[in-house]
Structure 1
């Protein structure tokens, strides 16, 4: 769990998609640490999702894990209905679920295209749609983009395109949520030290291959970042915490790039 902070979310209820592991699990723990009740959505990572719930409850927090494949709209509806049933309301929706894919444009199949856009783009739209319906007045929607949306990384057009669309969602949802004071923003992190980082970081490190040791790749990327290190999930979570707080109301329709000062990492 994170250390105490002056930013508190007591009485708030947050739903986080793709929170069974990685960044999503960290977000769930830190939001709970700051006083929010959390709904941990997972598609297939039941064991780690339930372990996160147990950890939160042991620390005195409130959490529930709800299985739903958010690439299917009926399951999104079920997720929101069960979340409301669990805690009576929703104040925060964090659109965290996603996948990364690398492929030469000529090798992208319709199946891969549909898979990547189905989770990274379509699912984020319909989760946002449900958020506008179910959120309390003054609620928060946070979309998950990526620094890749603004870069020209080889063999990354599919992923970059799927995240670029999400940035458009954030701006438009901000306008749509205005009458009920619901804000919408997107965060666009660089590499974060999660299991996804371990699998794919070599693509971003000049001269690296999939056989390059991870510590060598990490050191190379860290040299491109003014702060001299790669991001950890807590770095992203602290920004998300602020966006969830009432004090963030005037931050709306924004794409917040979280790179430690680097335009590459």
Structure 2
């Protein structure tokens, strides 16, 4: 791990940090010199393995279990992280779940589950993090380019992410009075296990192209992002160069069209 030093002395919590984009963010923060708390829900082995790897490479890193759908577990994660390292400077809220389903099949339970993780979970993580942050704190939530695209039977997920973008706009004024910035990153298709499980569902109805052909047609770069490429946005928003950026959503989508 090559330490860039841009986040030296900072303490960061990364929810959903055991895999995918969250794991890449945790690794990038550690490489930049931050102490990192990897929040995870089910992927205990992956979380602790990553924490061990980053520690061996010279970082201060621990893994803590928390289901962000549970408000009490979210509060415990943030407070335990701040108590362990004596401060909290950065929250990267990467935990999230996907959902596809037509209007006729949607249930109240579907709504409650998706919004509990993708929306309420992020709001409460921001709330508890802000309580432990001082001037210069950075909160980075996760939206999706689905919030601005028309995707068949993706309504519930898209709505949960659109709410995140509204949250960062409104909270920027409130938190700005305390010197804390809040932004969101909106990834497009990224090479994660969640994306792989749902790749075929993103095509319009009746289109049955191969994944390679579909991506070549849909993205300016002819491919999807790697988690490390998306993680760069979280590093930027946590660093000194983003000190005057707040209330905004940064799309990292390779110009989907």
- Please indicate the TM-score interval, normalised by the length of the shorter structure: over 0.9
Alignment of 1:20-99 (within 5 A): 20-99=18-97
TM-score normalised to the size of structure 1? 0.92
Cα shift at 1:223: 3.2
Provide Cα deviations, 1:108-147, integer angstroms capped at 9, x if missing partner.
1111111101101111111111122111211101110000
Q: Which of 173, 180, 188 is residue 182 of structure 1 equivalent to?
A: 180
Partner of 2:226: 232
Separation in 2 of the partners of 1:180 and 1:79?
22
Q: Secondary structure at the match of 2:62?
A: strand
- Tell which deviates more after alignment, 163-172 or 222-231: 222-231
Partner of 1:106: 104
Separation in 1 of the partners of 2:120 and 2:178?
24
RMSD: 1.6
Kept in 2: contact 1:222–1:230 (CA 8 A): no
Structure 2 residues without counterparts, runs of 5 or longer: none
Separation in 1 of the partners of 2:214 and 2:68?
35
TM-score normalised to the size of structure 2? 0.95
Cα shift at 1:4: 6.0
Separation in 2 of the partners of 1:194 and 1:44?
16
Kept in 2: contact 1:188–1:257 (CA 8 A): yes
Partner of 1:133: 131
Separation in 2 of the partners of 1:144 and 1:93?
11
Separation in 2 of the partners of 1:152 and 1:69?
29
Provide Cα deviations, 1:197-220, integer angstroms capped at 9, x if missing partner.
1111112235556xx7xxx31442
Q: Secondary structure at the match of 2:218?
A: coil
Cα shift at 1:18: 0.9
1:168 aligns with 2:166: yes
Separation in 2 of the partners of 1:196 and 1:75?
23
Separation in 2 of the partners of 1:233 and 1:219?
21
**Structure 1 runs of 4+ off > 4 angstroms?**
206-209
Separation in 2 of the partners of 1:136 and 1:202?
44
Provide Cα deviations, 1:55-87, integer angstroms capped at 9, x if missing partner.
101111110111111111111111111101221
Structure 1 residues without counterparts, runs of 5 or longer: none
**CA shift in 2, pair 1:62/1:219, >3 Å:** farther
1:242 aligns with 2:233: no
1:220 aligns with 2:218: no
Kept in 1: contact 2:152–2:202 (CA 8 A): no
Give the aligned length.
Answer: 256
- Tell which deviates more after alignment, 235-244 or 219-228: 219-228
